[in-house]
Chain A
Amino acid sequence: MDFYYGLAQTVGVHTLLGLSAYIVLLTGQVTLAQAGFFAIGAYTAGMLTVLAGWHLVPAIGAGALTGAATACAVGFPALRVKGLMLVVATLAFGEGVRLFFFNFDYQVAKGEIKVGPVGGEGFRQIRFFQENGWTTGEVMLFIWAFVILVMAALWWFDRSRYGAVLRAVGEDEVAAQSVGVNLTAVKVSAMTVGGAVAGIGGALYAHYTTHIEHANFNVLLATFAIAYPIVGGLSNVFGTLAAVIFVQAFLIEGLRDLGDWRNLLFGALIVLAMNLRPQGLFGGRRA
């Protein structure tokens, strides 16, 4: 049973990661920065529970805030460029964050051991759940409470006028600004909300794995983040969820026997999806 709980935890956290890219993708921007915001949320929340002794819930809130603040700061310069240049700029940012944590040492003595992030070795002993005696099932439910909350919020947001504005910007920036949409404000807001969602995902991730290191937040994770909404389609938030289940449960766990060949399958899937169903595997209602 624990295997399935563990899988559900992974699916939940990756759904948050995918949704963070979904919001930005609605405005037509392809971003590879989401793994960076995810990492920032993970380290922030981990350090607050382990080093500062915070409860997990406010620590997750702080992870969301730091993710959002970084995304907002990155958004202003990065969104001045478009298309491929934005991909390169956000990729550089994501790698920058990873390398920051590769070099980041901040340890504090806690009883007999020292805790905190140690550069390349990573950040061990993020044991909030274990110290408080949570079972795997409870942890899974806790994560999914956040996933459902975020999905509900984004579902509502998507149907509001703001959702229509994001999609309008994604479709035609010239037309959008001509009907009075402030492109910079819209894109930076989408990036900021995306950063907050990625931060929540990272905060949860740090606590269920208990050990994070720079290598967790590499380009592969950034690619996954953007691949989920692309594969799932942009019709609504459930496309991203379906894509995460498909990739994590079927491609990665279900086909475990194939070993590293699965990565090839993942690449092939994206190429296939873009060719055969550019609206996403689960996308509907496109003209």
Chain B
Amino acid sequence: MLELRGVSRHFGGVKAVERLDLNVAEGEIFGLIGPNGSGKSTTVNVIAGLFEASGGQILFKGRNLDGLPTHRRLQLGIARTFQNIRLFGQLTVWQNLWVAQNAPEDRARRGFLSRWLGGRGGARAEMAGLLEFSGLAHKRDELAANLAFGEQRRLELARALAAKPKLLLLDEPAAGMNSEEIGQLRDRILKLRAQGMTVLLIEHVMELVMGVTDRIAVLNFGQKIAEGTPREIQNDPGVRKAYLGGA
């Protein structure tokens, strides 16, 4: 589904990501972990197209993403959330989802004729379904800026889903959440997997990562130091060293 071949991203002399190989299979929940500053968010930004890769190739469903702008990658099916929530605060919850309906089938549906032939109702029903899924149905007309923190995180996930992605890039979706909210998030991710969604999950909260992922890659200083199942990663001495230092 998603393949990174020797992808690098340098900022001046800083090698934020260095020759990274990743292979995320369809329907898989793939975890990407590592200490702060190890290049996880940079990896997401390079996949999403916010930064160009300094080297290497990114293939999505066999297609090279090189040079494709961010909005085109979304239309191919790559959606994301942000580590520091980036909602449209002055738009309502509903409008946040509305703006994000940019999948090719949505764009086709907005054609002049099809809009009046039921396209509108379809879009509405989908957004209502997403609000239900995210537990935000009662906040439909609230400004996004007025939502509580946990609700904003949920809305951001819903907004990414509004684009009907095939691959979801979640950049620390559990940051700042309490354990109840983390449990709900975990249920949501598992529900998405059951629907066939592929997820690349970047997370510090080990409770979540170890509980939902099929495979995990560990980054340190921009390079992959380990890859395997959650159990293998937990027992890897190199990973322990990167996280705990010393020993």
Contacts and interface: CB of A to CB of B under 8 A. Distances in A.
Report whether chain A binds chain B. yes
A159 to B, nearest CB: 10
A287 B88 contact: no
Contacts of A161: 98-99, 101, 110
B160 A179 contact: yes
A139 B50 CA distance: 52
Nearest to A179: B100
Contacts of B146: 287
A180 B100 contact: yes
A160 to B, nearest CB: 10
B69 A177 contact: yes
A285 B90 CA distance: 9
A271 interface: no
Most chain B CB atoms below 10 A, which of A165, A171, A178? A178
Contacts of B25: none
A165 B80 contact: no
A30 B86 CA distance: 22
A177 B80 CA distance: 11
Contact of B71 (A172, A180, A286): A180
Interface residues of A, number: 20
Contacts of B145: 287
A214 interface: no
A176 B50 contact: no
Contact of A177 (B70, B110, B159): B70
B99 A181 contact: yes
B102 interface: yes
Contact of B91 (A167, A182, A183): A167
B208 interface: no
B74 interface: yes
Contacts of B96: 168
Interface string A148-184: 0000000000000100110110011011111111110
Interface of A: 161, 164-165, 167-168, 171-172, 174-183, 285-287
